[in-house]
């Protein structure tokens, strides 16, 4: 028996056999063909036709929206323009593998060049390319493995395209060797309530069929466990399930201190699910979807319709809307499409809106109109605020246009450090832990190679959050959390200990967090926070907090 | 060669789903079909070719069909392009 250690997402413990997700294929070598163009073309024909048939078969199985996406992928494999491009390369002496690789890459770059919606299709093209090359090379196609029995999925990391096809019914847990607690894998795991262990070095050495115990609460993986260990894990799983099944209701600590649990939503379509999961309101409503895929900003009337729909879902409840958060990493042609070398440090969030103030004015106008016709309690906040002056600017503009409650997101260390001044100007603060971690540790959220830095348990991040918590308490202003950190049940308790007054997360995470909060009093939460603050790194903070928990 | 100028109706232009529907219909025609925007012409049966034109809602495109039943094929494809598939 051996064991692996990673970062756990969730609270469950599972036992099951491993199924490995095949790695991305290496780039085919630029060798000259040894069998000649005609034979290579023959291979291409078979590989393309086989891949198209395979994709269509999966599409028929999936049905619905997925089938439409897969049909478009099959058409790419059938594409005559692509085929003639491949043939030209083969005639130039390339192997079928290399010709396919280069031809697909050419079209992918073209799609990326068009940008926007088309750029998203580039991933589809990559997937088809990998499947064709795998078929040519006689290896397993990369992608999500399929099985009729439940399994523990082991992968390097999961991409959005993989997870879209994942049959979650069969996935007991996800274990990745890379990716941090804010990776796509981790976000998916929280959203779908699947236990996950990320950054588990050595996980890729696990072979298909190996039985493991994966304990997301400690991030440990036991390989080839004994029968006793398996029955102990199963008993523990039942104990945890029983503990987590608290009735849906308002969030509160063990001593009755209310901690409102709110939902993060990306469109008004998610309202029903959030209400069902017991959300007491919305802590983060992202408005980007209204703007993405648009050449011009949506009109005030269009926006108003959508905001009204959202507010109708939460009568008498708090709804926090974030104005458009765009930047060079999520470019919108009408806002800022100037290429930037460091988009995360560029003209983004409120900075970009301020540079195109009419868009901000229109959005606030639409929100104010929706507010006036609703009995929901609308709060509006600005993203990426880094100075007191920006806070003053946004709050003044929001008030001028009729918004009753205006606040800012604290995502940049400067805002956290000056939280007392920021909260003097703003009605509330909401901490975006993902960006706050990125800026505190100087590690790009989207870059896998620095994912290990991207951990909101890091005491440096927690100390900044404490600054905001203290300022909120001193000034009597609410401090919410709306990053992924709030969805980590134990970290949620620590955040409350640091002064957070409400927590917002994906609706799926509400149940676990609600159950965990009920285990701790305010005093205990403060003690856990204190322990985390004195650690020297994220792992140390986790360990220090766990050490204080009852066994 | 028989040809026709059409204004594209789909709200998101000829991307993804509408492009797939159009491409499949063009491939089924059994005769060579081209689609052109701003003078750049591609094989209409090629989804990548069609996508590469970056056709948006309201864009004017020119369809060209060679061979037997050209007019009928033009009618059918024009019908597809003037339907808003994104609305469905």
pLDDT digit string, tens, across residues A244-254? 677 788 999 99
Domain containing residue A159: CATH number: 3.50.30.10
- To the nearest whole percent, how much of chain A has pLDDT over 90? 60
Q: Which position has the token pair 């056999």?
A: A17
Lowest pLDDT segment from A51-60, A230-239, A335-344: A335-344
Per-residue pLDDT at A260 exceeds 80: yes
Lowest pLDDT segment from A333-337, A405-409, B26-30, B67-71: A333-337
Reference A97, options A6, A164, A20, A30; nearest CA is A30
End position of a domain, from candidates A106, A137, A168: A137
Size of interface A-B (CB pairs under 8 A): 52
pLDDT value of position A117: 62
End position of a domain, from candidates A137, A163, A181: A137
Residues A307 and A443 in one domain: yes
Residues A482 and A406 in one domain: yes
Q: Would you tell me which residues 7-66 of chain B have a C-beta closer than 8 angstroms to some C-beta of chain A?
A: 12, 15-17, 19-20, 23-24, 27, 42-43, 45-49, 51-52, 54, 56
CA A401/CA A357 separation, integer angstroms: 13
Number of domains chain A is built from: 3
Per-residue pLDDT at A84 exceeds 70: yes
pLDDT category of residue B21 using cuts at 50, 70 and 90: confident
Q: Which of the residues B17, B48, B54, B86 would you substitute to probe the A interface, choosing the one with the greatest number of A C-beta atoms within 10 Å?
A: B48
Nearest by CB: B48 against A69, A107, A117: A107
Residues A375 and A456 in one domain: yes
Residues A373 and A492 in one domain: yes
Please check whether residue B16 lies inside any domain of the structure. Answer: yes
Residues A431 and A463 in one domain: yes
Residues A163 and A79 in one domain: no
Q: Which position has the token pair 């000034």?
A: A475
Chain A residues with CB inside 8 Å of B17's CB? 68, 72
pLDDT value of position A336: 65
Please check whether residue A30 lies inside any domain of the structure. Answer: no
Residues A422 and A474 in one domain: yes
Please check whether residue B8 lies inside any domain of the structure. Answer: yes
Residue predicted with more confidence, A92 or A333: A92
Residues A300 and A414 in one domain: yes
pLDDT mean across residues, chain A:
89
Q: Mark yes or no for CB contact A72/B49 under 8 Å.
A: no
pLDDT value of position A163: 66
Per-residue pLDDT at A535 exceeds 90: yes
Nearest by CB: A118 against B45, B46, B51: B51
CA A316/CA A505 separation, integer angstroms: 20
CA A341/CA A2 separation, integer angstroms: 44
Please check whether residue A29 lies inside any domain of the structure. Answer: no
Please check whether residue A454 lies inside any domain of the structure. Answer: yes
pLDDT value of position A134: 92
End position of a domain, from candidates A99, A117, A137: A137
- To the nearest whole percent, how much of chain A has pLDDT over 70? 94
Domain containing residue A79: CATH number: 1.10.274.10
Residue predicted with more confidence, A469 or A341: A469
Q: Mark yes or no for CB contact B15/A111 under 8 Å.
A: no
Whether the model pTM is above 0.80? no
Q: Tell me which residue range forms the domain holding B21.
A: 3-81
Number of domains chain B is built from: 1
Residue predicted with more confidence, A209 or A326: A209
pLDDT value of position B12: 73
Residue predicted with more confidence, B19 or A212: A212
Domain containing residue B71: CATH number: 3.30.1340.10
Q: Which position has the token pair 């901000």?
A: A360
Per-residue pLDDT at A89 exceeds 50: yes
Q: Which of the residues A71, A72, A83, A104 would you substitute to probe the B interface, choosing the one with the greatest number of B C-beta atoms within 10 Å?
A: A72
Please check whether residue A193 lies inside any domain of the structure. Answer: yes
* Mean predicted confidence (pLDDT) in A515-542: 95
Please check whether residue A551 lies inside any domain of the structure. Answer: no
CA A158/CA A304 separation, integer angstroms: 36
Please check whether residue B24 lies inside any domain of the structure. Answer: yes
Please check whether residue B88 lies inside any domain of the structure. Answer: no
Q: Tell me: the pLDDT tens digits for A519-532?
A: 999 999 999 999 99
pLDDT value of position B85: 65
Please check whether residue A274 lies inside any domain of the structure. Answer: yes
Please check whether residue B27 lies inside any domain of the structure. Answer: yes
Are A509 and A454 spatial neighbours (Cβ–Cβ below 8 Å)? no
Nearest by CB: B46 against A69, A71, A79: A79
Instruction: Looking at A377-521, list the stretches that DSSP marks H as alpha helix, in order from N- to C-terminal side.
Output: 388-400, 413-417, 419-425, 433-441, 459-475, 489-497, 510-517
pLDDT value of position A451: 76
Please check whether residue A57 lies inside any domain of the structure. Answer: yes
Residues A210 and A318 in one domain: no
Lowest pLDDT segment from A102-106, A230-234, A509-513: A509-513
Q: Tell me: the pLDDT tens digits for A279-337?
A: 999 999 999 878 876 677 889 999 999 999 999 999 999 999 999 998 655 667 677 66
What ipTM was assigned to the predicted interfaces of this complex? 0.86
Q: Tell me which residue range forms the domain holding A195.
A: 2-21+144-237
Q: Mark yes or no for CB contact A82/B46 under 8 Å.
A: yes
3-state helix, strand, coil in chain B (%, to 5): 35, 25, 40
Closest CA of chain A from B36, distance in Å: 15
Residues A16 and A153 in one domain: yes
pLDDT value of position B88: 45
Q: Tell me: the pLDDT tens digits for A359-378?
A: 999 999 999 999 999 999 99
CA A510/CA A46 separation, integer angstroms: 49
Q: Which of the residues B51, B52, B55, B56 would you substitute to probe the A interface, choosing the one with the greatest number of A C-beta atoms within 10 Å?
A: B51
Chain B residues with CB inside 8 Å of A107's CB? 48, 52
Per-residue pLDDT at A193 exceeds 90: no
Residue predicted with more confidence, A144 or A157: A157
Residue predicted with more confidence, A122 or A274: A274
């Amino acid at each position: 028996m051996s064991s692996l250690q990673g970062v756990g997402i969730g609270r469950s413990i599972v036992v099951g056999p491993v199924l490995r997700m095949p790695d991305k294929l290496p780039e085919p070598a630029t060798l000259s063909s040894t069998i000649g163009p005609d034979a290579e073309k023959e291979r291409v024909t078979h590989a393309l036709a086989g891949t198209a048939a395979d994709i269509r078969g999966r599409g028929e199985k999936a049905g619905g929206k997925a089938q439409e996406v897969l049909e478009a992928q099959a058409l790419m494999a059938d594409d005559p323009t692509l085929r003639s491009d491949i043939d030209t390369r083969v005639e130039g002496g390339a192997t079928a593998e290399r010709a396919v690789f280069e031809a697909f890459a050419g079209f992918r770059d073209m799609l990326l060049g068009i940008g926007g919606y088309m750029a998203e299709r580039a991933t589809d093209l990559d997937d088809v390319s990998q499947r064709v090359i795998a078929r040519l090379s006689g290896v397993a196609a990369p992608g999500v493995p399929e099985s009729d029995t439940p399994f523990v999925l082991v992968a390097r990391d999961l991409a959005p395209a993989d997870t879209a096809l994942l049959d979650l019914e069969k996935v007991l847990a996800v274990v990745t060797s890379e990716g941090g607690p804010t990776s796509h894998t981790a976000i998916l795991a929280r959203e779908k309530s699947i236990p996950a262990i990320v950054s588990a070095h050595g996980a890729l050495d696990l072979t298909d069929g190996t039985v493991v115990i994966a304990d997301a609460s400690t991030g440990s993986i036991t390989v080839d466990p004994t029968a006793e260990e398996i029955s102990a894990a199963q008993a523990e799983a039942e104990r945890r399930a029983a503990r987590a099944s608290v009735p849906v209701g308002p969030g509160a600590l063990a001593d009755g201190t209310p901690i409102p649990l709110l939902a993060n939503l990306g469109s008004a379509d998610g309202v029903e699910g959030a209400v069902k999961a017991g959300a007491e309101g919305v802590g983060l409503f992202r408005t980007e979807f209204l703007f993405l895929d648009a050449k011009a900003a949506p009109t005030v009337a269009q926006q108003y319709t959508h905001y009204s729909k959202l507010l109708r879902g939460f009568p008498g409840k708090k709804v926090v809307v974030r104005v458009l958060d765009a930047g060079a990493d999520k470019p919108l042609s009408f806002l800022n499409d100037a290429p930037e070398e460091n988009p995360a440090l560029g003209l983004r969030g409120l900075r970009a809106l301020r540079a195109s103030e009419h868009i901000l004015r229109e959005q606030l106008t639409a929100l104010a109109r929706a507010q006036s016709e609703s009995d929901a309690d609308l709060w509006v906040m600005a993203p990426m605020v880094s100075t007191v002056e920006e806070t003053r600017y946004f709050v003044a503009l929001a008030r001028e246009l009729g918004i009753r409650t205006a606040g800012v997101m604290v995502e940049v260390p400067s805002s956290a450090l000056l939280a007392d001044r920021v909260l003097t100007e703003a009605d509330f603060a909401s901490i975006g832990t993902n960006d706050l971690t990125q800026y505190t540790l100087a590690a790009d959220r989207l870059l896998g190679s620095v994912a290990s830095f991207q951990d909101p348990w890091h005491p440096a991040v927690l100390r900044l959050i404490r600054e905001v918590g203290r300022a909120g308490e001193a000034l009597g202003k609410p401090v919410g959390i709306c990053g992924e950190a709030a969805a980590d049940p134990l970290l949620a308790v620590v955040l409350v200990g640091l002064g957070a007054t409400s927590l917002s997360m994906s609706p799926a995470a509400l149940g676990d967090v609600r159950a965990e909060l009920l285990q701790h009093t305010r005093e205990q939460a403060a003690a856990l926070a204190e322990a985390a603050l004195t650690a020297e790194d994220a792992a140390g903070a986790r360990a220090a907090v766990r050490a204080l928990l009852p066994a | 060669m028989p040809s026709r100028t059409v204004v594209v109706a789909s709200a998101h232009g000829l991307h993804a789903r509408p492009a797939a529907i159009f491409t499949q219909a063009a491939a089924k025609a059994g005769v060579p079909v081209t689609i052109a925007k701003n003078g750049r012409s591609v094989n209409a049966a090629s989804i990548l070719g069609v996508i590469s034109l970056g056709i948006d809602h309201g864009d004017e495109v020119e369809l060209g069909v060679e061979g037997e039943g050209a007019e009928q094929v033009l009618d059918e494809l024009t019908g597809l392009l003037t339907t808003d598939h994104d609305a469905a």
